[in-house]
Amino acid sequence: MFFINKVLRRVYSFLLNHFNEKIRKELLLEATIQVTRRFFLEYKDAESMRRVVESHRYRKSIRPILLDVPEASNILIYAPHQDDETVGAGGTLLRCAIHGKRLKVIYVTDGASATKPTNQKDHGSIRKEEAKMVWDFIGGVLPEFWDLPCRKIPLTQENAQIMREQIEESSAECIFIPFFLEAPLDHRRVNQLLLMAHRVRPLPESIQIWSYQVTSILSPNVMVDITELIDKNDIINDMWNSQNVSFNYSHFARGKAAYNSIYLNRERTARPRRRYAEIFFVSGVKEYISILENYVDSLNTTGS
């Protein structure tokens, strides 16, 4: 870890002094991707990865780069449940819509497992209607619902084939997906399906992966300042009425974004503003798939 810190400090210093801002950000992003990839490939079991990331020790080695939106025009968003994508990346998605990006969101599960069996169908229908309202507000987008069973996503070749076809049909240049070490099982399984989809037919290496934070600690190398959009982000997260009755996810999302503002540059004033940020691990398909392969192999070895 000391070696990684030392190398990164030298890289940052060199880049700050020799390149313009755009080139510097591109080079820094590539550096953080390779350091993160090397870090994760050194761990051979998923629980070790998770413990190190949650300790915050690793995050001290990487300073996230401030970006506005993905450069891609066509963005595909995978949300395991109806609300994950806005709790984790709502401000960034609002910013993408403002910039005229073409957005497509796919809800992987029906989101109905948290209810009694007698009303699961009704609950799933309610969550679908809420999702339609949310995405109409974000940018007039009609969501797609895969309706796989919540907390029981089948990791089958059939579903992998469907995901691969979804990615191709969307002409995705960028994919949003929860971070692969997120605690909820469905969040991790969607990543496993992505790996399986890649094995059905390799994903284009030009696709960029924006892995987002929902409930868990991640290893961010990109941050997006959503300060001016935080009130709109509250509005969309308030629309998840069926979820907010048991836990205030709008409050949680704002608090998480407030915490993430620690990554933003300090304001040297007597009264700094209240600022908000969302964080991501951003990489190319090739790097992300190699990390997923190591992660999935570790699951198979430990039986997790």
Q: pLDDT at position 271, please?
A: 75
Q: pLDDT at position 119, please?
A: 54
Q: pLDDT at position 81, please?
A: 96
Place domain 2-266+273-302 in its CATH homologous superfamily.
LmbE-like (3.40.50.10320)
Q: pLDDT at position 258, please?
A: 97
Q: What SS3 state is found at 149?
A: coil
Contacts of 72 (CB under 8 A, 6+ apart): 101, 172, 173, 174, 208
Residue 242: Cβ-neighbour burial (10 angstroms; 0-12, 13-18, 19+): buried
State how far the Cα of 284 lies from the Cα of 290, in Å rounded to an integer.
Answer: 10
Give the tokens for residue 96: 């993408």
Q: pLDDT at position 75, please?
A: 98
State how far the Cα of 180 lies from the Cα of 10, in Å rounded to an integer.
Answer: 29
Q: pLDDT at position 39, please?
A: 75
State how far the Cα of 36 lies from the Cα of 21, in Å rounded to an integer.
Answer: 22
Q: What SS3 state is found at 168?
A: helix
pLDDT tens for each residue of the chain, 304 residues long:
545 556 666 665 665 555 567 776 777 778 788 877 877 777 777 777 777 677 665 555 567 899 999 999 999 999 999 999 999 999 999 999 999 999 999 999 998 865 555 456 678 899 999 999 999 999 999 999 999 999 889 999 999 999 999 999 999 999 999 999 998 999 999 999 999 999 999 999 999 999 999 998 788 999 999 999 999 999 999 999 999 998 999 999 999 999 999 989 877 777 778 999 999 999 999 999 999 998 887 777 655 5
Q: Which of 215, 212, 254, 260 lies closest to 231 in space, CA to CA?
A: 254
CA angle 301, 191, 264 (to 5 degrees): 115
Q: pLDDT at position 302, please?
A: 56
